[in-house]
Amino acid sequence: METTAQGSHDSGEFQLSAAGEQELARLMSRYPNKQAACIPALHLCQDEHGWVSPGVIQFVADRLELSTAHVQGVVTFYTLFNQHPVGKHQLWVCRTLSCALRGSDAMLAHCEKRLGVKAGETTNDGKVTLRTAECLASCGSAPMVQVDKDYFENLTIDSLDKILDRLTR
């Protein structure tokens, strides 16, 4: 079960910050029509809000003149969009073949033990959401994890511990 953290009490109307509005205008100007900016617009809103709430879907649909069903379809297609509130940081453990052959199951088990949660859950303090991922395109440096937007590669349990120390500090 996903537990709630960032943005958990805020599923109503969504507004971007002033800087976010500037960035949205810049994004829309880069495409031949504003509907084509749907994915970057969703990323922008998620970066500010932490997840894609119903309010975010409505906001993006209104601003890009798309149906909410269309925006919802995009959100549910891409795993990088959070459909529920998540922790301050997201830790993705790649479990596809190259990583699996080099110990990703043990890495995931170690993360679950250290964080006290199962994959898909958020720590009680709201700091970390633990996720599993399909191939993150870094197979040559397996096993690896992604923390927010950064990759950590050629991991050992010791180097993973250092990442977990920093995330839970």
Kindly list the residues in this chain that would bind ligand FES in the complex (CB under 6 A): 94, 96-99, 135-139, 142, 144
- Cβ proximity to ligand FES: between 25 and 157 the closer is 157
- Residue 134 and residue 96 in contact, taking contact as beta carbons nearer than 8 Å: yes
Task: Label each residue of 45-83 as H, E or C.
Answer: HHHHHCCCCHHHHHHHHHHHCCCHHHHHHHHHHCCCCCC
Nearer to ligand FES, 35 or 154 (CB): 154
With contact defined as beta carbons under 8 Å apart, do 60 and 44 qualify? no
Q: What are phi and psi of 89, to 5 degrees?
A: -120, 150
State both tokens at 161. Answer: 């511990």
CB of 151 to ligand FES, least distance (A): 9
> Cβ 141 to ligand FES, closest distance in Å?
8
Give the position of tokens 């033990």.
Answer: 113
Q: How far is the CB of 53 from ligand FES (least distance, A)?
A: 30
Q: What DSSP assignment string belongs to 154-169?
A: S--HHHHHHHHHHHH-
Q: Based on CB atoms, which residue is closest to ligand FES, 53 or 90?
A: 90
132 or 168: CB nearest ligand FES: 132
Q: In what order do the strands lie in the sheet with 89-94?
A: 128-133, 89-94, 145-147, 150-152
> How near is the Cβ of 93 to ligand FES at its closest, in Å?
9
Q: Please report how the helices 18-29 and 38-49 are oriented relative to each other, as an axis angle in degrees rounded to 10.
A: 170
- Least CB distance to ligand FES at residue 101 (A): 9
- Cβ nearer to ligand FES, comparing 8 with 141: 141
